[in-house]
Structure 1
Amino acid sequence: MVESEALWREALYGPSGFFTRGEVPADHFRTAPLVGPELAEALLVLLDRVDFALGRPDRLDFVDVGAGGGELSATVRSLASGSLAARLVVTAVDLGPARSLPGVRWTSALPSSVCGLLVGHEWLDAVPCPLVTGPASHPWLDRWWPVRPGDRAEVGAPRDAAWADAVSRVRGAALAVDYGHVLADRAAGRYASGTFAAYREGRRVTPVFDGSCDLTAHVALDACAAAAGGDWVLVSQRDALAALGLVGRAPAGGPDWLAAAARASRIAELRAEGGLGSFGWLLHGVGVPVSSLLPPLPPWQP
């Protein structure tokens, strides 16, 4: 188990690793920040709610963990306005080469403290973890992923630890957005083949540990939630975006119809069931009640 995690880590983050040498997700698969500015718009609504709950502090952080090419960070910075923008500090965190983005700080390590909103958008799926084939025994598997003979699984303990560490640095809110699964489905054998996969140039390919492809696996977001503890909710991106005002209804006509229709199409993609809309949003309130950030929503069903 330890060997597979080490190989995965070396392939992504070693001296010649996939991300270390400067590859970005945008070159290999489509992510929500690449669809358009609408995800950043929704996160700014969430950030404003966090800001209000914190009492409008003198400094407000937006921290983008696993920033990739920095698209989300740059868009949040450019769209922020008013008093929030004047107090906003945007930090992109990634192990790849630093990028020059107006108004964005770039770092390879998590800040020691965050007052505002920390977002890990498709970050945890790229945190390497042990790969197993059953029968296998591990305390994490015993609790979170019962493995039967012949089953394959990923031991999510490193993701739990990474997320708990990130949340522990925050005063405000921490949000993980990722594709993943929950215990009920794992226990029912829905993921008996595991979820470890690789992508290169927009195609799914056979995973190899040579640094030539992005290696990823779905995230046990319920386990991450329990590890970080506190006040949290786990909902779908589809529902969360609607609760933040992103519904995407195009007007019937008028001079702005074409632009509005394009925007509605982008929002539809972000909220599509079976696609990006089925991503999980794990939101922790730290010193801020989650109920002040999102209204009650149906629980996430991957």
Structure 2
Amino acid sequence: MERALYGPDGFFVSGAGPAAHFRTSVHASPVFAACMLRQLETVDAALGHPARLDVVDVGAGRGELLRALLSRAAPELAARLRPVAVERAPRPPDLPSQIDWRPDIPDGITGLLLATEWLDNVPVDVAVHTPEGRRLLLVNPKTGEETMGPPPSPTDTTWLTTWWPPTPTRGGERAEIGVGRDLAWAEAVGKVARGVALAVDYGHLRDSRPLDGTLTGYRGGRQVPPVPDGSCDVTAHVAMDSVASAGERVARCAYSLVSQREALRALGADGGRPPLSLASRDPAGYLRALAAASAAAELTDPAGLGGHLWLRQPVGVALDAVVAR
């Protein structure tokens, strides 16, 4: 999975980038960027409007979100922003010069660290429940053929016992081992000196893990088998409670874990239809409001993007000061 996504010809480091293959909240609507700007402004206020405000986008794609934030920020805020895109792909030639492009997360962040649909692409191993206990699933990287491998390592077994315990009555259960994701998120949170680390992703919680797991592939806007040959995205939903616990041990502060629907509505996204009276008073304004409502509805639909989970982990600031209500 690591080679297929991030190797020399990996899915995320070659070609046109994720936007050519699937739709994320960042690509779906400018409403998402507008809400993220409000989140950034909230963090800025909680920090006392520092002379330099970092906004670090981990898994930045081709820099779409940072471009949008720069274009929308008020001049006073834009002058203090230090936007950083963290991505393994080469720097896009048309990226604004203000955006720093690097392969790793910088130290000492004061501001907002974003990870929008990053953790679902941190590689995972899959364990299958068998009569002999759990075994790792091996996948042929060329054909996708599956075979049983050895038992999980002691570290992975401890994680499974804690966060994805087996349910033998269901048989054949698949579990996606989240140790690597916990470590990746803990490292990211540790890079924040003061501010907020925010992860937005497909996810699930301990009491509702999916029976057959979630590992799948995407190519050209369509779901495909997750063959790790570099031709498609290979992704799995995130055990967000485990990730949150790993981050909490680093941040040593309470966290917030809510649905995207709840988070975006608190930040001003309203999927409700504008009043018909506006159509007679201001037809053009009504059409703009209707388009914005439609975009917000897609982002907050609980059966789609609205079902994403938002994990906010503050560092050195109060949780209440950075969570819009």
TM-score, structure 2 as length reference: 0.85
1:1-302 map, 5 Å: 8-99=1-92, 100-102=94-96, 103-134=98-129, 135-136=133-134, 138-147=157-166, 148=168, 149-170=171-192, 171-186=194-209, 191-229=210-248, 230-249=253-272, 250-252=274-276, 253=279, 254=282, 255-295=284-324
User: Take 1:19 and 1:51, find their aligned partners in 2: how far apart are those partners?
Assistant: 31
- The CA deviation at 1:90 is 1.0
Assess if the C-alpha contact under 8 Å between 2:300 and 2:306 holds in 1: yes
- The CA deviation at 1:200 is 0.6
What SS does structure 2 have at the residue aligned with 1:256?
helix
User: Take 1:106 and 1:94, find their aligned partners in 2: how far apart are those partners?
Assistant: 7
Instruction: Count matched residues.
Output: 285
Name structure 1 gaps, 5 residues minimum: 1-7, 297-302
Assess if the C-alpha contact under 8 Å between 1:196 and 1:216 holds in 2: yes
Which runs of at least 4 in structure 1 moved beyond 2 Å after TM superposition? 248-252
Larger CA deviation: 43-52 vs 218-227:
43-52
Residues 65/12 of structure 1: CA separation in 2 closer, same or farther (3 Å cut)? same
User: Take 1:27 and 1:41, find their aligned partners in 2: how far apart are those partners?
Assistant: 22
User: Take 1:130 and 1:23, find their aligned partners in 2: how far apart are those partners?
Assistant: 27
Assess if the C-alpha contact under 8 Å between 1:128 and 1:158 holds in 2: yes
Assess if the C-alpha contact under 8 Å between 2:267 and 2:324 holds in 1: no
Larger of the two Rg values belongs to structure: 2
Over the matched positions of the two proteins, sequence identity in percent amounts to: 49
Larger CA deviation: 94-103 vs 238-247:
94-103
What residue identity is the alignment partner of 2:158?
P
User: Take 1:11 and 1:95, find their aligned partners in 2: how far apart are those partners?
Assistant: 13
User: Take 2:42 and 2:324, find their aligned partners in 1: how far apart are those partners?
Assistant: 12
- The CA deviation at 1:214 is 0.3
User: Take 2:83 and 2:89, find their aligned partners in 1: how far apart are those partners?
Assistant: 17
What residue identity is the alignment partner of 1:132?
A
TM-score, structure 1 as length reference: 0.91
- The CA deviation at 1:82 is 3.2
Assess if the C-alpha contact under 8 Å between 2:159 and 2:179 holds in 1: yes
- The CA deviation at 1:23 is 4.3
User: Take 2:86 and 2:160, find their aligned partners in 1: how far apart are those partners?
Assistant: 30
User: Take 1:165 and 1:260, find their aligned partners in 2: how far apart are those partners?
Assistant: 41
Name structure 2 gaps, 5 residues minimum: 135-151
What residue identity is the alignment partner of 1:163?
W
User: Take 1:84 and 1:141, find their aligned partners in 2: how far apart are those partners?
Assistant: 44
Assess if the C-alpha contact under 8 Å between 2:271 and 2:300 holds in 1: no
What SS does structure 1 have at the residue aligned with 2:60?
coil
Assess if the C-alpha contact under 8 Å between 1:50 and 1:116 holds in 2: yes
